Amino acid sequence: MNAIQLANFSNHAIYGCLAIFTLAFFAHAVEVAWSVGNVDGQKKTEFLFSRTERAGRLGTAMMVLGFLVLTLAVVTRGMSAHRVPWGNMYEFSITGAFTLTAAYLFALVKWKLRWLGLPVSFATLLTLGTAITVLYRPSENLVPALKSPWLAIHVSAAIISGGVFLVANLVAGTYLWMEAIEKRGERPEWAKKIPSLESLDQLSYRLIAFVFPLWTFAIIAGAIWAESAWGHYWGWDPKETWAFITWVAYAAYLHARVTVGWRGKRAAWLCIFAGSTFLFNYIYINIWGTGLHTYSGL
């Protein structure tokens, strides 16, 4: 295939992903909505349980399929331009959706977190949908400032961190939701499959502790690159400033947790706050901000 065919193939694959992740979303929604417990007869319960189980498995199958097709879309996009597919915001977004689903599937295998599929498929749909409709740019070559091996290093570290921050935020959000439900009484049947408050709390902490060094590395790699491309390693460019703010927010989170002993609700809110500084940087500064990080429109 030549460059144009590859780029077209990638676009079609993204549309395919939209369909697949929509199915995954509905399957997970059905799984959650139809969860019914031991009401009366044992027989009925078994039947209903198998029905939700089937929906859940279908959801997982769709997530895996979506992940594979998305991998194909990202790879062909990169091949069409002969470079890593991280040249503009459209490409950041599809790669970001890729790392988000990858992080989810990893969590699914390691910690059996199928319930997370509902928010993750929704977030993925939102990201891909915005990417293909609003942010789309034809595949093209990089401007000279981006031609550097640091592109692959700096941007991949930033995108992976972003994906994991987002998952940690979803977990913290779920914590707050479950906490609100438990305050009113016992969890309803559909929420019983979701891990205990304590596990959710631990999980979001572990995700952040895992990814904080990577985010630090992303900032440092960016500084090294800036030193060779712009002549200074730190210039308080709006994107740099907000990367620093995110770093400070997560550093505060880790300190609050490890040293001061924050747990539960307060820690979850701090986690969500820190994650939203990342999203603000990604969305607001990319689109409305100015500075050296803006290339070729978006």
Partner 1 sequence: MSENQNIPDIGALGLARWAWRQLTSMRTALILLMLLGVAAIPGSLFPQRNQSPQKVDQYFASNPTLAHWMDRFRLFDVYASPWFSAIYLLLFISLIGCVLPRTLTHLKAIGKKPPLTPKNLDRMEGYQLLADIDAERSLEVARLWLKKHHYRIRVEAGSISAEKGYLRETGNLMFHLSLILILVGVALGSLFGMKGEAIINVGDRFINTPTSYDTITYGKFQPAGSLVPFALTATDFAAKYDPITGAPQDYTLTTSVENPIGSAPKKVIIKVNKPLTYGATKIYLQANGYSPVVTIRDKSGKVVFTGATIFLPQDADLTSVGAIKEPDMNPQIGFIGTFLPTAQMNMKRGGFSSYPEVLNPELLLSAWKGNLGLDSGVPQSVYQLNTAAMKEIGIKALLLGDTYNFGEGSITFDGWKSWVNLQIVEDPGKMYALFGAIFAILGLLVSLFTRQRRIWVKLNEKGSGVEIAGLAKNGIPGLEPELEALAGAIAPELIQQQTKEQK
- What are the residues binding partner 1 (CB under 8 A)? 140-145, 147-148, 150, 202, 209-210, 212-213, 216-217, 220, 223-225, 227-238, 241-242, 244-245, 248-249, 251-252, 255-256, 258-260, 285, 289-291, 296
Which residue's CB is nearer to partner 1, number 25 or number 215?
A: 215
* In 34-190, alpha helices (H): 42-81, 89-111, 117-133, 149-150, 156-184
- The answer to whether the CB of 258 falls within 8 A of the CB of 270 is no
Which residue's CB is nearer to partner 1, number 127 or number 281?
A: 281
DSSP string across 117-150: HHHHHHHHHHHHHHHHHTS-----PPPGGG-SHH
Which residue's CB is nearer to partner 1, number 20 or number 107?
A: 107
Which residue's CB is nearer to partner 1, number 128 or number 200?
A: 200
Please state, in angstroms and rounded to a whole number, the distance separating the CA atoms of residues 22 and 249: 33
Minimum CB distance to partner 1, residue 213 (Å): 5
Minimum CB distance to partner 1, residue 54 (Å): 31
Minimum CB distance to partner 1, residue 106 (Å): 17
Minimum CB distance to partner 1, residue 241 (Å): 4
Minimum CB distance to partner 1, residue 88 (Å): 11
Containing 26, the helix (H) or strand (E) segment is helix 3-33
Buried b (16+ CB within 10 A) or exposed e, 55-73: bbebbbebbebbbebbebb
